[in-house]
Amino acid sequence: MGDMTDGVLAAGTVEDADNSALVLGVRSSLTGRRWLWRDPSATLDSGLTARMGMAIMQQAGVPEVVGRMLAMRGVAPDAVQDFLSPTLRALMPDPAGMIDMDKAARRLAQAITTSETVGVFGDYDVDGACSAALLTHFLRQMGCRVITHVPDRMSEGYGPNTPALEAMVADGAGLIVCVDCGTAAGDILSPLSARADIIVLDHHKVQGALPRITATVNPNRLDCASRLHGACAAAVTFMAVVATTGVLRREGWFETRPMPQLMDYLDLVALASVCDVMPLTGLNRAFVTQGMKVMARRQRIGLNALLDVSGVTDDRLTSTTCGFALGPRINAGGRIAESGLGLELLLCEDEAEARRLAERLDAVNRRRQTVEGDILDIAMEMATRQREEGHPVLLLCGRDWHPGVVGIVAGRVKERFNRPVLVGAMLEDGSVKGSARSVTGIDLGTAIIAARQAGLLTSGGGHAMAAGFGLKAENISALHTFLDERLEKAAALPDAVDLSIEGIVSVRAATVELANDIGRLAPFGSGNDEPLLALPRVRIVRADRIGRESNTLRLMIEGEGGGPRLKALLFRAGDNPMTPVLEDRNAPPLHLAGWLQAQTWNGRTTASFFIRDAAFAN
């Protein structure tokens, strides 16, 4: 058993719970969760994972805690270097491995060499904005005139539409590129292909026949053997730019012209990969790792302004910066305001204008939070009733709900109930427009496509974990029954997601050094969760509300016997069941679960603990 005082993973108190090891005996935390070891064998000296961790430590020269965590993630000793220091040189495949990529690259190169006008049609989320910004910047740098369009969520909906595309053609576009959309828009794109060449750079699940156009580059095409299923649209767009640059180089285009600095686009790829919840493994790890280095240089004027407005003061940018500071603000414009604001900011090259746009997006995001909160209270009540009735899937619809925030509400309800959730806004014309979020192991995107094919939806598609949908209000009940039957295995899920703990560490051992060791496994996100640690038997020394709306709880904690103190933070404290206990300085000793991070500000680095859960110590 490891020693909690030296920061090494420790077995702590282990009991049998449904063939899994309980951590610190926590069967029901303050949020109703069990705390289980991510890999019970990793906490025992005789375990296979523990032995593999020791082998990684010895061969790769990493601390034992890092070796064990790498072993838990299935990283073999010979793959440790690519995991800890991922590079595009080592992990980037030939873009031509994606079907139709050669066609797309040749047509884009033709547009550049003939100085064509190109239309770029994007989506209103972060991935769409980043994809459109990346391609637009590249084409303009290469001398093309570029027309951009991001559809309005309310009046145009998702994906290509005929009026917008025809307007591009009328404005001189001989080539139109749809990014982060278009795969399922054959009925819109195919008829227009006689008037302009069309390329799709997308990653969404394929529904039915592909558009009859110049090229459809999508690693999730059934006939694509690239194995890049986890790439976001911005990553696909980046690889299209790489392939196009290769065509131009072979044709001698750069003999009298400077080569573009393609690595400078990786900040956009990183931001999109994190915000579109792509798995941070393999190539995506390289994109995000290298992209965060580019972002940290703050060379993109729009992102730099948004970082400032978001209050990002830490000198080191992480995937958390993308997911919680930048992403929500870029998304906000497309949710409840002007859909093109995010793209406009990313393309902005004037500092004063960028600051104005960033402040506007920040204000829109605050308004979005208010709108979201009003809907969330009602949605939670509806979800509670449906859960009590035994529905495997929660389908929540309401009048006067803003379609732009239903996806966020669906995500919050999913977190609370651990069930697939669909949230729809009922519109005046009798239709419903909504978004869906799923839980691990439940492929909601495929179920949505099946419902559309069954005639229950007028529109629908997405990923395993997230989807959009539209239907007539009279079909709500039939859709609910269809999804309950198709996703019935969700009924067996626990009401709250078990926490997977990777180690027990005392407050004394929760140091900057340990945080930096754990940070070597970054970037964290889907497919590479940030390691959850448990702090045993802590006492609350001080509790303060901080932040613009006093919605963050800042604590000073210490071990039961005193000693060094550690700062701990709880976000969204206002509606969190843990808050009353954590604010009570007379509370009995608590076990805390969360993430240990090193934060640097004004040249000083300290350790902070970000609370995920809490339980009364026995």
In a domain, 381, yes or no: no
State which of 359, 380, 399 marks the end of a domain. 359
Can you say whether the dihedral through the CA atoms of 115, 120, 126, 127 is positive or negative? Answer: negative
Question: Within this chain, do residues 505 and 485 fall inside the same structural domain, yes or no?
Answer: no
CATH of residue 519's domain is 2.40.50.140
pLDDT at 21: 77
SS3 assignment for 152-200: CCCCCCCCCCHHHHHHHHHCCCCEEEEECCCCCCHHHHHHHCCCCEEEE
Residue 375 lies in a domain: no
* Residue 492 scores a pLDDT above 60: yes
518-536: per-residue pLDDT in tens? Answer: 999 999 998 899 999 999 9
Output the domain CATH number for residue 485.
Answer: 3.10.310.30
Closest CA to 130 of 331, 404, 309, 407: 331
Pair (209, 330) in one structural domain? yes
Could you give the percent of the chain with pLDDT greater than 90? 81
Q: What pLDDT band is residue 16 in, cutting at 50, 70 and 90?
A: very low
Q: Which pLDDT band holds residue 50 (cuts at 50, 70, 90)? A: confident
Residue finishing a domain among 318, 341, 359: 359
Q: How high is the pLDDT of residue 1?
A: 28
pLDDT tens sequence across 460-476: 987 788 899 999 999 99
Is 2 within the bounds of a domain?
Answer: no
Tally the domains of the chain. 4
pLDDT at residue number 106: 98
Residue 140, domain member (yes or no): yes
Specify the pairing of strand 145-149 against strand 117-121.
parallel
Lookup result for tokens 């550049």 = 112
Report d(CA 108, CA 116) in Å as an integer. Answer: 10
Closest by CA position to 434, among listed 407, 416, 412: 407
Range with the poorest average pLDDT among 71-75, 215-219, 333-337: 333-337
Q: Which CATH number does the domain housing residue 255 bear?
A: 3.90.1640.30
- Asked if residue 4 belongs to a domain, the reply is no
Beta strands in 447-589, from DSSP E residues, in sequence order: 459-462, 466-472, 499-504, 532-546, 552-559, 562-570
Please give the C-alpha separations between residue 538 and each of 25, 272, 315, 590, 592, in angstroms, as whole numbers.
15, 38, 29, 5, 7
Name the band, by pLDDT with cuts 50, 70 and 90, for residue 25.
very high
142 DSSP assignment: T
Question: Which helix H or strand E contains 88, and what residues bound it?
Answer: helix 88-91
pLDDT of residue 17: 39
145 shares a domain with 53: no
pLDDT band with cut points at 50, 70 and 90 for residue 207: confident
- Are 346 and 448 members of one domain? no
409 CB-near residues (< 8 Å, 6+ apart): 372, 375, 376, 379, 396, 401, 423
What is the rounded distance in angstroms from the CA atom of residue 337 to the CA atom of residue 328? 13
pLDDT tens for each residue of 173-191: 999 999 999 998 999 999 9
* Chain mean position to CA 126: 10
**Residue 43 sits in the same domain as residue 190:** no
What tens digit of pLDDT does each residue of 132-156 get?
999 999 999 999 999 999 999 888 8
Residue 66 pLDDT greater than 60, yes or no = yes
Residue 15 scores a pLDDT above 60? no
- Name the token pair of 441: 């192991």
353 and 476 in a single domain? The answer is: no
Q: Residue 574 has what pLDDT?
A: 87
Q: Please answer whether residues 471 and 456 qualify as being in contact, where contact means their C-beta atoms are separated by less than 8 angstroms.
A: yes
At 344, is the pLDDT very low, low, confident or very high (cuts 50, 70, 90)?
Answer: very high
Least confident piece of the model among 53-67, 223-237, 427-441, 442-456:
53-67
Same domain, 111 and 214: yes
Residues 6+ apart with CB under 8 A from 69: 9, 53, 502, 518, 521, 531
Residue 74 zone, left/alpha/beta (φ > 0; ψ -120 to 50; rest) = left
Domain boundary among 492, 521, 537: 492
- pLDDT for 40 equals 67
What is the tens place of the pLDDT at every residue in 375-393? 999 999 999 999 999 999 9
In this predicted structure, what is the pLDDT of residue 42?
A: 52
Q: Residue 13 pLDDT > 60, yes or no?
A: no
The answer on 525 and 480 residing in a single domain is no
Full domain range(s) for residue 429: 390-492
Same domain, 255 and 187: yes
Asked if residue 253 and residue 147 are part of one domain, the reply reads: yes
Residue 410 in domain: yes
Q: How far is residue 167 from each of residues 147, 161, 480, measured CA to CA in Å?
A: 10, 10, 39
Is residue 236 domain-shared with residue 345, that is, in the same domain?
yes
Cβ partners under 8 Å of residue 236, min gap 6: 98, 131, 201, 202, 203, 217, 218, 219, 228
Residue 376 lies inside a defined structural domain of this protein: no
Residue 19: pLDDT band (50, 70, 90) is very low
- The pLDDT of residue 3 is above 50: no
Domain-embedded: residue 9: no
Q: Is the pLDDT of residue 90 over 50?
A: yes
* pLDDT at residue 301 greater than cutoff 70: yes
Q: 417 and 397: one domain?
A: yes
pTM: predicted TM-score of the whole model, two decimal places: 0.89
Reply yes or no on whether the pLDDT at 18 is more than 80. Answer: no
Joined together, the tokens standing for residue 354 give: 């960028």
Give the mean pLDDT of the chain: 92
